[in-house]
Amino acid sequence: MRQLFPLFCLLGLVTGRGVCAEAQEKSVRPGINDPFRDPDVEDFIGKFEIESREVFTRRAEIVAACAIQPGQTVADIGAGTGLFTRLFSPKVGVNGRVLAVDISRKFLDHIEATTRQAGLRNVETRLCQPDSTGLPPHSVDVIFICDTYHHFEFPTKTMQSAFDALKPGGRMVLIDFRRVAGKSTDWVMTHVRGGQEVFEAEVTAVGFQKVKEPLPLKENYLVVFQKPENPAK
């Protein structure tokens, strides 16, 4: 059953006057992550790494838009089959790290195997919980979330953990599906619980500042947020 983010919560997020307790204590989309508890990895490779998927076709442009620098630590949240994890690895170089974060141990095992085969020695995996990235405070320069935010069952808690994990001045790149009535597919309308304005409000409510939308996409949107250099206590 589709569960929309309550209007009173959205208003509170937009105005900055508190966050929604439901988003913190109750799943906003119970069961949405059931397919990832014991995924058929090969099946998901066929779904995620395919030319009909916009983020796969434009992956090189997306990586460029992330502006990753050598020596940085990048966290790929909801890394899935590791598509972007493997692409980020050469960008951070031998002195950087890529952290593949996911709720599925099978996905992480696949990422470990494929990165070893490719000789990518700067990739580490992290098993996370549904309500937290599990990353240490001030440990990451860039967070990347691609087609995963709508799977966050506890968006406020998860985003707070992401905010805390970033170093001051660190950036978060968020990609998700455009959800526009009359334009988006039926799958998006039923599967994705909110549009860009809802997700941006949730993200900024925990302290992120929207910086730019550097890469126009058709089926998706890409937004860059930043953690302030001196975040409010």
CB 59 within 8 A of CB 83: yes
State the DSSP string of 99-135: EEEES-HHHHHHHHHHHHHTT-TTEEEEE-BTTB--P
- Run of H or E including 191: helix 186-191
Strand partners, 102: 127
Residue 232: per-residue pLDDT: 74
Structure tokens at 13: 């997020």
Percent of the chain predicted with pLDDT > 90:
87
User: Could you give phi then psi for residue 148, rounded to 5 degrees?
Assistant: -125, -25
- Assign 46 to helix, strand or coil: helix
Please identify every stretch of the chain with a pLDDT value under 50, giving residue numbers as ranges: 1-23
Write the DSSP symbol of residue 154: S
Residue 10: per-residue pLDDT: 44
pTM of the prediction? 0.90
User: Per residue in 22-64, pLDDT tens?
Assistant: 446 899 999 999 999 999 999 999 999 999 999 999 999 999 9
Angle at 39 (CA atoms; ends 79, 118), nearest 5 degrees? 50
Strand ranges of the sheet holding 166-177, from the earlier edge strand across to the other edge: 123-127, 97-102, 73-77, 140-146, 166-177, 220-226, 209-212
Residue 18: per-residue pLDDT: 41
- d(C-alpha 48, C-alpha 60), whole Å: 15
